[in-house]
A = this chain, B = another copy of it.
Amino acid sequence: MDADNVVTLKTVQKAADTLSGHVIMTPVQTDETLDLLSGRRLYLKCENFQKSGSFKFRGAYNAVSRLVNSNGSTANRLELVAGSTGNFACGLAMAAELHGVTAHMVMPDNSPECKRQMALSHGASLTLCEPAAQEIARTVNQVRDATGAIFISGAERPDVIAGHGTMGLELLRQVPDMDAVVMPVGTGGMLTGVSVAIKSICPEIRVYGAEPEVSNCAAMSLEKGERYAFPRFPQSVADGLNGNIGKLPWTYMQSNVDDIFTVSEDEIKNAMRLVWERMQMVIEPSGAVGVAAVLSDSFKARAGGCKNVAVILSGGNVDIDILSKIL
């Protein structure tokens, strides 16, 4: 792997410098009911309070900032294009807007309305396509050819992943005696960035991924020993996790991740409801997957000894009518 294509503690620390003052150092909240139910002390990292409503703003801001700085006086003519199930589009649109850069987003046509509206509200143009990896790639290429925009991969860019990794640095400061961290896995960018940050500093802290049973490409990849990708996106209620594991995240996952837990659609909905009722926070289904995992029987069986567990609530962008239906 060449030096430009790696995520290291140093690149994450550099990203933290870039993001300082521009992202919210999101709070970590606790709740006694959740502690009781999980049998552990849980520390919930509230990325639902992050700018653009999810952690994706971190990586997006880092990537746009680097691009703008390396393009000097021509930066204001930059155009960017990205494909996203939703939150990366929101984060990138906002980061682009803040840097005065034009953004074009490609999203599946079944993505939540609030995510489309947020991308649009930050000045991005939006193209919808079928919810399949190939269709998104094809549409991104069309937009790129038509506009000359630079493609920003949410899954494959080391600067995006390093931006996400800054959550790991914050958790090391925010959570006393952290034994483990649990987070949702979609393309794997968060898992890669956070695991690099945490394992580099405290290799004994366990790093766990969580994903929907019906959209389990991380678990399947680890089981098969090679990266697995669904040709057509699965349809988990956790819409942000229906994409596939990226190639770059996959190279890190095998060594950095201690386990992957899968949860049912009902477990995801129950976790959303719990966080809502007990903690008065809105999280989206994808953001609830880590909570669902720590409450699951398999977590109790396979993560014994972890007393203080950080869980990343990855985002809070959910349509109200969908939420009503889900709950």
Segment 102-134 of A: residues with Cβ below 8 Å from B: 114
Q: Is the CB of A280 within 8 A of B281?
A: yes
In the complex, whether A327 has a CB less than 8 A from a CB of chain B is yes
Chain A interface size band reads 20 to 34
Given contacts A27-B27, A49-B29, A282-B282, contact A277 B327 (CB under 8 A): no
Residues of B near A327 (CB, < 8 A) are 320, 324
Residues of B near A320 (CB, < 8 A) are 273, 276-277, 324, 327
In the complex, whether A137 has a CB less than 8 A from a CB of chain B is no
Q: Is the CB of A277 within 8 A of B48?
A: no
Q: How far is the CB of A51 from chain B (nearest CB, A)?
A: 9
A316 to B49, CA, bound (A): 16
Contact among B49, B273, B277, B324 for A280, CB-based, below 8 A: B49
Q: Is the CB of B316 within 8 A of A48?
A: no
Segment 27-68 of A: residues with Cβ below 8 Å from B: 27, 29, 48-49, 53
Segment 262-289 of A: residues with Cβ below 8 Å from B: 273, 276-277, 279-283
Binding site for B on A (CB under 8 A): 27, 29, 48-49, 53, 114, 273, 276-277, 279-283, 316-317, 320, 323-324, 327
